[in-house]
Structure 1
Amino acid sequence: MFSDIQRIYDVHETVHGFPRMLGSIDCTHWEWTNCPTAWRGQHQRGNHSHPTLILEAVASYDLWIWHAFFGVAGANNDINVLDQSPIFDDIIDGVAPGSSFIVNNVEYEHVYYLADGIYPEYATFVKAYTSPIGEKRELFKKAQESARKDIERAFRVFKKKWAMIKNLCRIWTKEKIRNVMYTCIILHNMILEDKGLAVCQNYDDNPHMTPAQLSSEEKHAIRNALRDRDTHLSLHGDLTEDIWTNCTSDD
């Protein structure tokens, strides 16, 4: 598992210029035509013609979907989905491997994901500047948006490969819908591995690791550290400097 994660870091830094970046996070919707009438209010939103269920996913450069959380009602936005997601559970439970790193001569405790503007200013999310001023910020915005297309490409390839996910869902029960979604994600990853396109071959999720014996206070401190806005802003600035420095040195 540790070597797999290191390969992901190396590929993302080589291809995108972002050191210690795990992947890009985003959500997509699966329209559910047979949603019960009593549930339609919580599953319907204005930009979809039918009720939906939401898939939150993280994908790396190779389009491998290594985090998936599916089933939240479609009326929610990405932040509501994140509040219910288990994406940080391994870190909070002490299962995740050590992830500290240094960028621009500053040490950070946790690695990060690339996200779009709706996501909160957490220490573990790096977003593009909304209105960049200056060449450094413009370069960073271009680099971030280019790298974040990994998750958008993953969704496009995934839906093209499994037409039933792209089309209306006609299954009646949520449990069966979840089974179909997760099965398609597993098959998607298996195909990438079988074709030799995955960064990490023979992927091992290391199921033998056991949670650390952390107190509730320790877990609360970790949770606060992951959501720290000051760390988010500091990392944002240091990554901007790092990408600018590497770009100008290459030139």
Structure 2
Amino acid sequence: MLESIDCMHWEWKNCPVSWYGQYGKGDKKYPTIMLEAVASQDLWIWHAFFGVAGANNDINVLDNSPLFDDLINDTAPVLPYVVNGVGYEKGYYLADGIYPQWATFVKSFTVANDAKHAYFKKHQEGARKDVERAFGVLQERWGIIQQKMAVFDWNEVYANPSRNMQRTWIERCETQRRKNKEMRDRGTHLSLQQNLMDHIWQEVKHEDEDF
């Protein structure tokens, strides 16, 4: 599991009036800038994508985010693991219901129809609160961002030597097409969700046996 992902709206009180249409949202008092973040239990933020206009939603942010660039370009490390006897190769993020059914996301259930689903729902939603806690800390300690557009140097370039630099342009395009299809695979998403649910449900069985 590669931590938890979510978005938040950051109020931008000094937004120019002419930009209110882009950055305004009906349920917000002020125009907002959106922040997509991935955070761990210790409140460490592993990924942050900041600056999308507040009139958007989490999916619009994801479509513009560089979160999966390394995966699509085949430069991300391979992370093989086994859940409930089934092997997987891509890490996943805990996400809420708005996110798509991709192989890289594990979501909860809107309705839990039995004890197994309820147990999984409780644990997934409980673990996903890590990113919400991180947002709370950011809002408390970084209020200055409300007054500015961003605190990121857009001219900063990160060098990332990749193994696909030797590939031809056609090969890179084919790799990106294949990786993008794998990442968006709904079947893998449902399989992983089911196997994770079965895996943690064993905890209940073991507790009952011990009792």
Same fold, judged at TM 0.5 (above): yes
Distance in 2 between residues matched to 1:162 and 1:170, nearest whole Å = 10
Q: Which residue of 1 aligns with 2:147?
A: 170
Q: Which residue of 2 aligns with 1:119?
A: 99
Residue 208 of structure 1: how far off its partner (Å): 5.8
Deviations 1:15-34 (A, max 9, x none): xxxxxx01000011211122
Give structure 1 stretches of 5+ with no counterpart: 1-20, 181-205
Percent identity among equivalent residues? 53
SS in 2 for 1:132: coil
Q: Which residue of 2 aligns with 1:156?
A: 136
Q: Which residue of 2 aligns with 1:242?
A: 199
Distance in 2 between residues matched to 1:136 and 1:50, nearest whole Å = 42
Deviations 1:141-170 (A, max 9, x none): 0000110010011111222222334xxx23
SS in 1 for 2:112: coil
SS in 2 for 1:129: coil
Q: Which residue of 1 aligns with 2:20?
A: 40
The one-letter code sitting in structure 2 at the alignment partner of 1:220 is R
The one-letter code sitting in structure 2 at the alignment partner of 1:210 is S
Distance in 1 between residues matched to 2:140 and 2:122, nearest whole Å = 27
Are 2:55 and 1:85 aligned? no
The one-letter code sitting in structure 2 at the alignment partner of 1:129 is F
Residue 207 of structure 1: how far off its partner (Å): 5.8
Distance in 2 between residues matched to 1:31 and 1:211, nearest whole Å = 40
SS in 1 for 2:3: strand
The one-letter code sitting in structure 2 at the alignment partner of 1:127 is K
Match of 2:9 among 25, 29, 32: 29
Q: Which residue of 1 aligns with 2:177?
A: 220
For these two proteins, the number of residue pairs brought into alignment is 199
Native 8 Å contact 2:44 2:134 kept in 1: yes
Native 8 Å contact 1:27 1:54 kept in 2: yes
Deviations 1:113-164 (A, max 9, x none): 0001111111111111110111110000000011001001111122222233
Give structure 2 stretches of 5+ with no counterpart: none
Instruction: Tell me the C-alpha RMSD between the 2 structures.
Output: 1.8
The one-letter code sitting in structure 2 at the alignment partner of 1:215 is R
TM-score, length of structure 2 as denominator length: 0.88
Deviations 1:35-78 (A, max 9, x none): 22222111111121111110100001111001000000000000
Distance in 1 between residues matched to 2:92 and 2:60, nearest whole Å = 19
Are 2:50 and 1:70 aligned? yes
The one-letter code sitting in structure 2 at the alignment partner of 1:241 is D
Are 2:76 and 1:96 aligned? yes
Native 8 Å contact 2:73 2:172 kept in 1: no
The one-letter code sitting in structure 1 at the alignment partner of 2:133 is R
